Amino acid sequence: MRPFQQLPFARLPTHPRRPHGFFDAPVTALTVTDDHFGTVTTPCRILGSGPPLLLIHGLMTSGYSWRYAIAPLSAHFTLYIPDLVGSGEADMPDVSYAPDHLADWIGAAVDALSIRGCAAVGNSMGGYLTMRLALRQPSAMARLVNLHAPGVPMPRLYALHAALSIPGSEAMLRRLIARSPEQWAHRNVHYYDETLKSLEEASEYSRPLKRREGIRAFYRTLKETMNPAEMTGFLSALQAGFPIPLQLVYAEQDPLVPPLVGDRLAALCPDADLVRLPEASHFAHVDATDRFIETALPFLQKQP
């Protein structure tokens, strides 16, 4: 198959062709309280040994996103893998999902886990949010790997925001997703090697989209966190410097976030370590796991 060539949904296998231990990982109900979201309960998988490492997933995914990175990373770190508020199996309050609210929620989760000053890896929106958290609370994390995050206003983001600002757009999105939440999830996650997809993954990522409050949270996150105006402010804030060690990892090919986003962030964060991964996607921890670990692990293990 060609890179990024999706299988028809009807041909997806029930289980992924590569086994993983995500569902065997110990899970706890984490309670996080902050001023904006209130008290939120979310599943958090905690496993491994060594210093703490926080793994933050991206938009429309969940902690399941890290399934192939668990084994190699847990040999060196104690992993903390929560579902973000409004995602996965976390609570979904009826409030704003603007990026600084979500970033502060991650900071509150760090405190609830008693791991302030941990290392962290954020994928996609999770990388964007953890970068915003570092700007707002430099003590929250000691170092950060940003794996293919957005953060630079792009034409498609302006178009998306305009579409989501039309009256009735939330109801329209709900109707589109309701036709088949599993197929929606399948269509909107893109891998360099699409044979890694399965009905198991589609089920995991579509679960919150089967609930009214889940689509509401997804819609608000799309509209508010992915707002180009918010990203413009983020880039302005980076001009004052990034407060913690940063590694930027971007795939050379990606239909979601072009690698020039990494170039722009690296130009604003000249001390950052910029890495390009060939034959990988926005989700390199899934479809280029070994190369991603080889890249990220030495950076994560560096001493202050």
pLDDT digit string, tens, across residues 261-293: 999 999 999 999 999 999 999 999 999 999 999
In a domain, 162, yes or no: yes
Domains identified in the chain, total number: 1
**1-24 pLDDT per residue, tens:** 799 999 999 999 999 999 999 999
CA dihedral 60, 222, 270, 51 (to 10 degrees): -40
Place of tokens 């962030």: 265
Task: Give 159's DSSP letter.
Answer: H
Q: Indicate whether 2 belongs to any domain.
A: no
Distance separating alpha carbons of residues 102 and 106, to the nearest angstrom = 6
- List all residues 6 or more positions away from 26 whose beta carbon is below 8 Å from its beta carbon: 45, 46, 47
Query: Has residue 3 been placed in a domain?
Result: no
118-159: pLDDT as tens digits = 999 999 999 999 999 999 999 999 999 999 999 999 999 999
DSSP secondary structure letter of residue 1:
-
Instruction: Decide if 41 is inside a domain.
Output: yes
pLDDT of 254: 85
CATH number of the domain enclosing 269: 3.40.50.1820
Distance of CA 225 to the CA centre of its chain: 12
- In sequence order, the 6+-apart residues with CB closer than 8 A to the CB of 145 are 119, 120, 121, 122, 127, 246, 247, 249, 296, 299, 300
Query: Is residue 1 in some structural domain?
Result: no
pTM: 0.97
Segments forming the whole domain that contains residue 191: 9-301
Is position 42 within any domain?
A: yes
Establish if 83 belongs to a structural domain.
yes
- Asked if residue 4 belongs to a domain, the reply is no
